[in-house]
Amino acid sequence: MTGSDVTPSFRLAYVPGVTPTKWVRIWNERLPEVPLTLIQVPAAEACDVLRDGGADAGFVRLPVDRTTLSAIPLYTETTVVVVPKDHVVAAVDEVSAEDLTDDIVLHPLDDTLDWEHPPGRPAIERPATTADAVELVAAGVGLLVVPQSLARLHHRRDLTYRPVTDAPTSSVALSWPEDETTDLVEQFIGIVRGRTVNSTRGRPQTPAEPKGKRPDKAGAQRKPAAGKSTGKNPRSRSGAPKGGKHGKPRRRS
């Protein structure tokens, strides 16, 4: 935002499965003069979009290249297996990867899980996308293991899903170019982190008053009330003590 005639804007990328609605709503409430544009990108392309300047910030799946991108991890998803509702897995609460050994488990090209050895038996051909894999599960071709948000995103009435206890997990982070932490990026970081509108990172604070004696309502310094002791022995007008040792007048010799 270099020229005064340029209207500021903010471009936010997000990968499938992430729902940025809450943060976008808060942004619109706090910065109504700065339009926010949402850009959905495939998980495998999200980091390139940020590096190439296609978005100011984005919700991505870890890991990211920390030499060029900054990232704030937000949450880790449960991994689930998507199955037809009449599959035996649908009768249990959770499964392990070993429980899927005899099944064909689809492994789409846009898979976001970092498998060392994918479970089950491989399909003859890998589906191009997770959406394609879900269609194959519905057709009875095989099963699909994905982060829970993707199972919800591609929900079908004839399918269900169950947690896989020992599968790799997928974590979501807010990321932006390392050398492009602009004021608007800072504003969005504050929203995601839950800072209030009056946070010191969100807007300038009113300077604090200098420390000192507090004036009374009239603006004058407070004085000791009349008749109050000042810590000294009371004396008569002549400066002599009012009485002797026991408070009685002394006799003249």
Task: Tell me the per-residue pLDDT of 58-90, one tens digit each, with 9 for 90 and over.
Answer: 999 999 999 999 999 999 999 999 999 999 999
- The confidence score (pLDDT) of residue 251 equals 52
- The confidence score (pLDDT) of residue 62 equals 96
Q: Does pLDDT of 191 surpass 70?
A: yes
- The confidence score (pLDDT) of residue 26 equals 97
Q: What is the percent of the chain where pLDDT is above 70?
A: 76
Give me the domains of the chain, ranges plus CATH numbers.
10-76+171-192 (3.40.190.10), 79-168 (3.40.190.10)
What's the CA angle centered on 56, arms 55 and 59, to 5 degrees? 75
Q: Does pLDDT of 214 surpass 70?
A: no
- The confidence score (pLDDT) of residue 9 equals 94
**Which conformational region is residue 123 in: left (phi greater than 0), alpha (psi within -120 to 50 degrees), or beta?**
beta
Q: Which of 164, 155, 149 is nearest to 75 (CA)?
A: 149
Q: Which residue has the higher pLDDT, 9 or 201?
A: 9
Radius of gyration of the chain (CA): 35
Q: What is the percent of the chain where pLDDT is above 90?
A: 73
Q: How would you list the strands of the sheet with 69-77, edge to edge?
A: 36-40, 10-14, 57-61, 170-177, 69-77
Residue 243 to residues 163, 230, 237, 253, Cα–Cα distance (Å): 93, 19, 13, 16
